[in-house]
Amino acid sequence: MKYVKHLRCTLCQKTFNPNHVSYTCPNCGIEGILEVEFDYSALKNVINTKALINSHDFSMWRYSPLLCIESTQNLSSMLKIGWTPLYRANRLNKSIGINELYIKDESANPSGSTKDRASGIAVIKALEQNASIIACSSTGNAASSLACHASRMGLKTVIFIPKRAPIGKVTQMSLYGATLVSVDGDYKSAYQLSKKAIEQHGWYNRNAAINPYLVEGKKTVALELAEQLNFSLTDWIVVSVGDGCTIAGLYKGFYDLFHLGLIKKIPHLLGVQSEGCAPFYQAYINDEPLQEALEDTIADSIAVGIPRNPIKAMNAVKNSHGSWIAISDILILNAMHTLGSSEGLFAEPAGAASLAGLQEALAKGIIKPDESATIIMTGNGLKDPKNAEKTMPPLKTIKDDLNSLNEYLNQKGVI
């Protein structure tokens, strides 16, 4: 934590010594999410273009001085997180009508989503504190990601899931050796029980919003984007939003880069929500406080009715002069097919929502055709085959002869 000045409460603005506080603000409680503040003048000596060019570490740990970790000794034993590919669109920019388009492929992370960046930090921090168990409540990518990296480093994980958790989602966690606690109740019950158990047993807590260091892991997406584009970022960065941690992390990354003198301005952030669960979008449009929303969308990774990182997420859009948008499930399914069939990229619904959001923002004039954008593809489509199936046209079986085949291909416009 050499370069950390202090932790600042996003509510009361008081600052705290990181050695005295573990998770949220002692004054404001669970709502008092803390923000890490760095000593940028000291950081400039270790994070600069020369140091980055000479780095041979092609993972998120190339930015370790910016990651609030005590030591680098465990990093080489970790699975490779980060430095995911950034693709320039070959055709998609033209078909959707934007000058320049990039896609950050987070599906290439070990457990298939951008959550690996936060879980990597959680595992390293748990090892620093000699904790042997990490816990979280989640039915999705955060939990499977945690189970993945904890397994690799020999730590146990206890994952709290509601009774109704879909079996497909919990399979991955179980395979990584997590102890699954299926709680007789809904998601809130699972969360509350995890909170009590974490307090009782002193386990390390990987509930993303309340742990100030996890967002620091997520910001490495922004750091990589900047470096991969030679510090000349696109006008817009587009990402889907659930809890708010990923967009908060992106903003934090750009904020760091700006204060390190590596970029001249922070790009606009477009936060994309599903119409079926859009608390941030509603609050923005109606200019009112965040209200609990229904969770009615196929994009389960962003189906968060009560976002746990609201202030950082709202600030990310506001301070970057960005915007919020909401799109329907139909548009998300279309975007999944478009990404796959025009660029060869297979995203889960929340991963393709960024493309759907960009298309909608272009249609509404929020983003202009002569601007440039990067969409964050947050998760692998293989995680959700059921929704991918919905994008398939009906499969017609043809007779086993060339005439039938050619007639069929003719109809399809292939020959």
User: Is 85 buried (19+), middle (13-18) or exposed (0-12) by CB count in 10 A?
Assistant: middle
Q: Which of 163, 264, 318, 364 binds its own copies (CB under 8 A)?
A: 163
345 contributes a contact to its own copies by CB under 8 A: yes
Nearer CB in complex with its own copies: 261/385: 385
- Classify residue 313 as left (phi > 0), alpha (psi -120 to 50) or beta: alpha
Closer to its own copies at the Cβ: 360 or 384? Answer: 384
Position of tokens 């970029």?
A: 263
Structure tokens at 375: 């969409």
d(CA 102, CA 87): 5
DSSP label at residue 394:
P
**Which residue from 213, 331, 346, 358 is in contact with its own copies, where contact means CB under 8 A?**
346
User: In whole angstroms, what is the distance from residue 272 CA to residue 324 CA?
Assistant: 6
Binders of its own copies in range 264-323 (CB under 8 A): none
List of residues 6+ apart from 394 with CB closer than 8 A = none
158 touches 131 (CB < 8 A) = no
403 binds its own copies (CB under 8 A): no
Least CB distance from residue 300 to its own copies, whole Å?
A: 15
Binding span for its own copies by CB under 8 A among 225-233, 264-272, 295-303, 393-401? 393-401
User: Can you tell me which of 34, 36, 126, 158 binds its own copies, judged by CB under 8 A?
Assistant: 158
Question: Does 228 interact with its own copies (rule: CB under 8 A)?
Answer: no
**CA pseudo-torsion sign 259, 262, 268, 269:** negative
* Closest distance of CB 332 from its own copies, Å: 13
**Which one of 242-250, 278-286, 311-319, 376-384 is the stretch in contact with its own copies (CB under 8 A)?**
376-384
Q: Within positions 98 to 117, which residues make up the interface with its own copies, using CB under 8 A?
A: 105, 108, 110-112
State the nearest-atom distance from the C-beta of 20 to its own copies, in Å: 27
Are 255 and 266 within 8 A, CB to CB?
yes
Interaction residues for its own copies, span 190-209 (CB under 8 A): 192-193, 196-197, 200-201
Residue 29 DSSP symbol: G
Number of residues binding to its own copies, judged by CB under 8 A:
82
Q: How far is the CB of 48 from its own copies (least distance, A)?
A: 20
Q: Which residues of 295-320 are buried (b: 16+ CB within 10 A; e: fewer)?
A: bebbbbbbbbbebbbbbbbbbbbeeb
* Residue 238 and residue 301 in contact, taking contact as beta carbons nearer than 8 Å: no
CB 352, CB 332: distance < 8 Å: yes
Query: What would the two tokens of residue 143 be?
Result: 């939990």
Minimum Å gap between C-beta 257 and its own copies is: 22
Q: Residue 137 CB: number of other CB atoms within 10 A?
A: 26
Interface map 138-157 toward its own copies (x if CB under 8 A): ---------xxxxxxxx-x-
Q: Are 291 and 342 in contact (CB under 8 A)?
A: no
The span of 1-9, 14-22, 35-43, 188-196 binding its own copies (CB under 8 A) equals 188-196
Residue choice 5, 14, 259, 337 for contact with its own copies (CB under 8 A): 337
Q: Tell which positions 116-135 bind its own copies, by CB under 8 A.
A: 133
Single out the residue of 97, 261, 409, 410 in contact with its own copies (rule: CB under 8 A): 409
412 binds its own copies (CB under 8 A): yes
Q: Is 1 in the site for its own copies (CB under 8 A)?
A: no
Site residues (CB under 8 A) for its own copies, limited to 35-94? 58, 77, 79-80, 85, 87, 90-91
Residue 402: CB minimum distance to its own copies, A:
6
